[in-house]
C-alpha cells in the first residue's frame, strides 16, 4: 500500500478562493450581513458551518444559516465558468503518482461543486479517491475531512502528507496528526501558515513541483507502511 498525498482543492489546486469570497459576500448581504470582504476572505477554507460562526455575531438568527449557505452555493454555481486549475496543478499530481504516491482529494466541497472542480483540474487519471461534504460532520479546522481522506486512502496518519493553502487546512491536518505542506495561492501569508504549523511553505503548486526533490513529498517510501 503506497503512502498518500492528500490535497485540499479550493485555493490549492484551483484558483477559487476569491470567487468564494465574492459568493459569500453576496449571500451574506442578501440577509443583511455586511462583514468586510477581507474578513470573509480570512474565513475561506472553513466550511459554511464554521465560517458563519466565525464571521457573525452569536446573537444572530441561526435559523437563517442554512438559507445563507444555500445562497452561497447558488451564487458560486454562477461562477463555475470562471474556475480554472492553477498552472502545474495536474502536472504535480501526475509527478507524485509516478513517484508512487496515492493521490486523494481531501475536499469538503459539495459533491456538485467537486465534480465541476475535478473537470477543471483534468487529472482524474491519477486521482485514487476524493472526499466531499457528504463525508464529514464538521468542516475545517475540525479534522474530519482529513480523517475521511485517510480512510479513503487506507493509510494511517504517519503514512500521509496533506497539501493545503489556509491556516484552517494546516490546523485540521495537525489535529489529525498529518504533516501539512502549504502553498500561498489562496491568499494567506507565509507567517500565518507557518504559525499554524506548516511543514513547508511554497508560493504555488508550480514552485512545489519545481522543488519536489527537496520537499517532504520527494520520496513516498519514507511514509509507506512496512
Please answer whether residues 4 and 104 qualify as being in contact, where contact means their C-beta atoms are separated by less than 8 angstroms: yes
Mean pLDDT of 199-224: 95
In the predicted structure, residue 124 carries a pLDDT above the cut 80? yes
Angle between helices 89-99 and 111-121 (to 10 degrees): 90
Cis peptide bond N-terminal to 39, omega within 30: no
Q: What three-state secondary structure class fits 31?
A: coil
In the predicted structure, residue 25 carries a pLDDT above the cut 90? yes
How does pLDDT run across 127-172, given as a tens digit for each residue?
999 999 999 988 899 999 999 999 999 999 999 999 999 999 999 9
The confidence score (pLDDT) of residue 213 equals: 97
Residue 100: left (phi > 0), alpha (psi -120 to 50), or beta?
left
Write out the three cell numbers for 164.
493545503
Q: Could you tell me which residue, 63 or 5, shows the higher pLDDT?
A: 5
The confidence score (pLDDT) of residue 151 equals: 97
The confidence score (pLDDT) of residue 128 equals: 98
Cell 465558468 maps to which residue?
81
Q: Which helix (H) or strand (E) holds 130?
A: strand 129-131
Please answer whether residues 126 and 27 qualify as being in contact, where contact means their C-beta atoms are separated by less than 8 angstroms: no
In the CATH scheme, what is the code of domain 4-16+83-222?
3.40.50.1000
Residue 192: pLDDT band (50, 70, 90) is very high
Q: What three-state secondary structure class fits 147?
A: helix
Beta bridge pairs of residue 139: none
Residue 223: pLDDT band (50, 70, 90) is confident
The confidence score (pLDDT) of residue 1 equals: 63
Closest CA to 123 of 92, 81, 161, 163: 92
Residue 48: pLDDT band (50, 70, 90) is confident
The confidence score (pLDDT) of residue 226 equals: 62
Residue 47: pLDDT band (50, 70, 90) is confident
Amino acid at each position: 500500500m503506497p503512502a498518500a498525498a492528500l490535497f485540499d482543492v479550493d485555493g490549492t489546486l484551483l484558483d477559487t478562493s476569491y470567487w468564494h469570497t465574492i459568493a459569500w459576500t453576496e449571500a451574506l448581504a442578501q440577509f443583511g450581513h455586511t462583514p468586510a470582504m477581507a474578513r470573509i476572505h480570512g474565513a475561506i477554507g472553513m466550511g459554511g458551518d464554521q465560517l458563519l460562526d466565525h464571521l457573525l455575531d452569536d446573537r444572530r438568527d441561526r435559523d437563517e444559516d442554512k438559507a445563507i449557505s444555500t445562497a452561497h452555493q447558488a451564487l458560486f454555481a454562477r461562477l463555475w465558468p470562471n474556475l480554472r486549475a492553477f498552472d502545474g496543478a495536474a502536472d504535480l499530481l501526475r509527478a507524485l503518482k509516478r513517484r508512487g504516491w496515492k493521490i486523494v482529494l481531501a475536499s469538503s466541497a459539495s459533491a456538485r461543486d467537486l465534480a465541476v472542480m475535478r473537470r477543471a483540474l483534468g487529472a482524474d487519471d491519477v486521482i485514487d479517491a476524493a472526499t466531499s461534504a457528504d463525508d464529514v460532520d464538521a468542516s475545517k479546522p475540525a479534522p474530519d475531512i482529513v480523517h475521511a481522506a485517510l480512510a479513503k486512502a487506507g493509510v494511517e496518519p504517519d503514512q500521509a502528507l496533506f497539501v493545503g493553502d489556509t491556516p484552517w487546512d494546516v490546523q485540521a491536518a495537525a489535529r489529525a496528526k498529518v504533516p501539512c505542506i502549504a502553498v500561498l495561492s489562496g491568499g494567506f501569508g507565509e507567517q500565518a501558515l507557518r504559525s499554524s504549523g506548516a511543514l513547508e511553505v511554497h508560493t504555488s503548486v508550480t514552485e512545489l513541483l519545481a522543488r519536489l526533490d527537496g520537499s517532504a513529498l520527494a520520496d513516498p517510501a519514507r511514509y509507506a507502511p512496512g
